[in-house]
Amino acid sequence: MRKVGVRGWLLHDVTHRGITAWLLAAVIFAFYIVLYFGGQYGIPDLVSPWAEQLGLSSKWVLYGALYSAAIVLGGFWMLWKYRHNRYQVVRTLVVMVVQVTLGFSVPQMLKHAGQPEYYFSYLWPLKIDYFYPYNITGLPWPYVVYSVVGALVMVPVLGVFFGKRWYCSWVCGCGGLANTAGEPFRHLTSKSTPAWRFEKVAIHTVLIAALLATALAIGSALLPEESPIVPVAGKYREFYGIIVGGILSGVIGVGLYPIGGTRAWCRNFCPMAAILGLVQKLGRFRIRVKKDMCISCGLCSKYCEMGIDVRSYAQANQSFTRASCVGCGMCAEVCPRGVLTLENVTRKDPQEAVRRAPGRASLPIIT
């Protein structure tokens, strides 16, 4: 840790794109490539033997356990670091509990009980195969109802009332890892305009690709087997799985942590984040900016893991809703002047009522 006269942690190699950070990134890259593609393309499967040694049914169970451990350990660190901020404490606890239960142990218990290994915390289009015909027809009906109602009703409705954060930074495992074990790297996300341009194109491209994959899968199930669409749909589904499910969410999504910040997947590629972002723009969530109090220090922008230039809104006295904002609340936490606050705008909010009150003249003077 810090010693007398030593420059602090930001300039540390690991958190500052130094040689250790690059090495760490390379290790994570290699791990994910072996995990996803081991046993194919001539890549050795190094993870399965470990899972066997430990008596686990597959490498994915081992991966799930490691992933959960990272979130729990990182989570305890978060709880300590932000113990003064109740939003962070509650949010981190929820993320930890959801990962350990819905994200790991519940599916394993279901499997042991002879049920399908079903992840209630992942929904279409993030978990795109829950809409694929083999799941729709193969799963027991309560799971199918949850898949469909969850994705098409619960996600957007909660999104309207609470913004995309209810999922992206309270439930989702991808966000969970970013906001716990990924915490030391959150400031590395690029805040540049080119990065924002890339984000807008990339995330909507993946969304269209996901919609296309779903449409082709369902279409090919309805079409006769000899239709030329069927093999194309199959190939496309495989391609989508490798590119989006493997490379973008795993290899790049986590591998980039020490180099490009924690939310590369969530920001640029996640189709669920794309949908929730569009819902969020129409919904009630926003970041409120206190008038005239910003000192343009830029801590909010620096520590935004989604690369939002929060300062540009704060210094312009502009409350805002950005599609990419996952509502992690860190801009409000780091602001030294308490300028920012996350809120779901409701008509019942007394502060809002005060703000909307008519001019001074109509108010009684000294009551």
Partner 1 sequence: MHIVIVGNGIAGITCALDARSRDASARITVVGGESEFFYSRTALMYAFMDKMNRRDLEPYERDVWRKRNIGLVTDWVVDHDAEKREVKLAGGKTLTYDVLVLALGATANVPDWAGLAETKQGVVNFISAQDLDACEALVPKAGRAVVVGGGLIGIELVECLMHHGIATTFLIREPYYWPAALSREESQMVIAHLREQGVEVVVDESVERVESTGGRFNAVVTKSGKRYAGDILGVCIGVRANLERMKSWKSAPASRRGIIVDERFRTNLPAVFACGDCCEIERPGRAPLIETIWYSAKRHGALVARNVFGDDVAYEPPVFFNSSKFFHIEFTTVGEVEYAPAGTPTIFRHRSGKHVCQRIVHDGTRVIGFNMLGSRWDNEVLARWVEERRSPTWVLRHLAEAQHDVELGRMNLQAFDEVNIPLAKLGSPPHA
Kindly determine how many residues on this chain lie close enough to bind partner 1 according to the rule CB under 8 A.
50
Stretch that binds partner 1, among 52-60, 66-74, 125-133, 284-292 (CB under 8 A): 284-292
- Phi, psi torsion values for 347, nearest 5 degrees: -70, -20
From the CB of 76, what's the least distance to partner 1, in Å?
19
Q: What is the distance in angstroms between the CA of the first residue and the CA of the last residue of the chain?
A: 57
Which one, of 286, 128, 119, lies nearest residue 211 by Cα?
A: 128
- Binders of partner 1 among residues 210 to 239 (CB under 8 A) are none
**Binding of residue 8 to partner 1 (CB under 8 A):** yes
Burial of 276 (0-12, 13-18, 19+ CB in 10 A): buried
Q: Which is nearer to partner 1, 180 or 315 (CB)?
A: 315
Please name the residue that has the structure tokens 């690369």.
307
CB of 174 to partner 1, least distance (A): 22
Which is nearer to partner 1, 146 or 198 (by Cβ)?
198
Nearer to partner 1, 209 or 287 (CB): 287
The C-alpha atoms of residue 335 and residue 200 are separated, in whole angstroms, by 27
Of 158 and 332, which CB lies nearer to partner 1 in the complex structure?
332
User: Would you count residue 84 as binding partner 1 (CB under 8 A)?
Assistant: yes
Query: In the bound complex, what is the minimum distance in angstroms from residue 92's beta carbon to partner 1?
Result: 12
- Runs of H (alpha helix) within 44-140: 47-53, 59-81, 86-100, 106-112, 133-138
By CB under 8 A, residue 193 contacts partner 1 = yes
Q: Give the whole-angstrom CA distance, residue 217 versus residue 236.
A: 9
Tell me if 292 contacts partner 1 by CB under 8 A. Answer: yes
Assess 11 for contact with partner 1 (CB under 8 A). yes
Give 151-195 as a DSSP string: IIIIHHHHHHHH-THHHHTTT-HHHHHHTTTTGGGGGGS--SHHH
Provide φ and ψ at 149, rounded to 5°: -65, -40
Q: Does residue number 4 form part of the binding site for partner 1 (CB under 8 A)?
A: yes
The b-or-e profile of 67-100 (16+ CB within 10 A means b, else e) is: bbebbbebbeebeeebeeeebbeebbebbbebbb
Determine if 157 is a binding residue for partner 1 (CB under 8 A): no
Nearest alpha-carbon partner for 333 in 95, 87, 165: 87
Q: Cα-flanking dihedrals φ and ψ of residue 355, to 5°?
A: -65, -30
201 near partner 1, judged by CB under 8 A: no
The 315-344 site mask, x for binding partner 1 (CB under 8 A), equals x-------------x--xx--xxx--xxx-
Choose between 184 and 250: whose C-beta lies nearer to partner 1. 184
Quick check: 367 binds partner 1 (CB under 8 A)?
A: yes
Examine residue 359 and tell whether it contacts partner 1 (CB under 8 A). Answer: no
Residues that bind partner 1 (CB under 8 A): 2-11, 84-88, 90, 192-193, 290-293, 295-299, 301-302, 311-312, 315, 329, 332-333, 336-338, 341-343, 350-351, 354-355, 360, 363, 365-367
